[in-house]
Amino acid sequence: MTLPGGTSRVSVSTAGPGDRGRRKRPSGVQRAAAERARTTLGRRRAMNVLMVGVTFGAAIVATLPLVFILAHLVREGASSIDLAFFTELPKPAGEEGGGMANAMVGTLVLILAASAFGLPIGIGAGMYLAENKGTILANVVRFLSDVLNGLPSIVMGIFAWQFLVRPMGKFTALAGGIALGAMMIPLVTRTTEEMIRIVPVSLREAALALGYSRWRTSLVVVLRTALPGIVTGALVAVSRIAGETAPLLFTVLGNQFWSTSLTEPVAALPLQIFTFAISPYDAQHALAWAGALVLIGIVLVISLAARFATRSRFGRGGD
């Protein structure tokens, strides 16, 4: 870096091609500039190390909560997870043993109901936003969808109670599914829109030039190309609502027994965890921890499925 005569690379570059071979001694101004460049360089290097360190630390801290939660759940809950936990109904308070089989089934029923309601609407709305991005309606829908995304889930629960549970006269799995589905809609809408928008215009044009109609181009070419991303978005939305508790308190109520009927109250993992966690019995506390561990496990499986879905059917290089 430092050349004979104490000049830096900066001052050499000011020398024209003519003075090659007999380099002039650097002037005072040049020496001062070189000195300044050296100290600036030192400061920039230190700043670089500092910033890399800070972001590295932030990255570690960001993953710590999950590590702690998982570790704690395994310590508290793993011992309660046995075959009975997956196959039996919860035992009455005070009795040992029992499981959360009905709550797991109930959660799956709720996820299916929510997906059946939320996915078609979310994907359809996302397609509309992507295909008509400049229109007033699209801008309004996009804004409202962002607002809905930030809506506290308990508000969603109260609304579902007011407009679904009260008119029907009872708590039902259907009301819970719709409340959860409504929470999925904005997430699915926005990811669908984003995924469709990153499909190159050239692909759309190629389909149109082949004689594809507009709707067929959207469906067969654009949607198909964006599908892995949309599936990922849908699974992320599912894993987000899988653990929601507040909307369920007002809609599905919970159930001590087996039920898969959409028109009856149904058990759900988050509700069962809540019920057991606030009970005074240690055995139920342990089951609550185990339930939380299973819930996280379900979310983890869905996330892995999302990862898997983004892989192309042609394998590597086919995306």
Partner 1 sequence: MATDTEWTRVPRPVASAGRGDAATTARVRLETHALSAFFGSAEVVRGVSIAFRDREVTAIIGPSGCGKSTLLRCLNRMHETVPTARVGGTVSLDAQDIYARGVNPIEVRRHIGMVFQRPTPFPTMSIRDNVAAGLRILGSDRPSKAETDHIVEDALRRAALWDEVAGRLKESAVGISGGQQQRLCIARALATRPAVLLLDEPTASLDPISTQKVEELVYELRRDMTVVIVTHNMQQAARVSDRTAFMLAGELIEIAPTNSLFTTPGDQRTEAYITGRFG
Half-sphere exposure of 215 (CA within 13 A, CB side): 1
- When asked if residue 245 is in the footprint of partner 1 (CB under 8 A), the reply is no
Residue 227 binds to partner 1 (criterion: CB under 8 A): yes
Q: Bin 230: left if φ > 0, else alpha if -120 < ψ < 50, else beta.
A: alpha
Q: Is 262 in the site for partner 1 (CB under 8 A)?
A: no
Residue 224 binds partner 1 (CB under 8 A)? yes
Q: Whole-number minimum distance, CB 306 to partner 1, in Å? A: 18
Q: With binding defined as CB under 8 A, does residue 205 bind partner 1?
A: yes
Radius of gyration from C-alpha coordinates of the chain: 30
Residue numbers 109-138 binding partner 1 by CB under 8 A: 134
Site for partner 1 in 174-203 (CB under 8 A): 200, 202-203
User: Shortest distance, CB of residue 131 to partner 1, whole angstroms?
Assistant: 12
With CA atoms as reference, report the closest residue to 98 among 75, 76, 80, 79: 80
Q: Is 317 an interacting residue with respect to partner 1 (CB under 8 A)?
A: yes
Site residues for partner 1, 3-62, by CB under 8 A, read none
Contact 276, 288 (CB under 8 A): yes
What are the backbone dihedrals phi and psi of residue 9, each rounded to the nearest 5 degrees, phi first?
-60, -30
**Residues 216, 230: contact at Cβ < 8 Å?**
no
- Dihedral angle at the C-alpha atoms of 172, 247, 240, 117, nearest 10 degrees? 40
User: In terms of Cα–Cα distance, which of 186, 195, 189 is closest to 147?
Assistant: 186
Count the site residues for partner 1 by CB under 8 A: 24
Stretch touching partner 1 by CB under 8 A, among 40-48, 64-72, 154-162, 307-315: 307-315
Nearer to partner 1, 9 or 311 (CB): 311
Residues forming contacts to partner 1 in the complex (CB under 8 A) are 134, 200, 202-203, 205-213, 216, 221, 224-225, 227, 312-314, 317-319
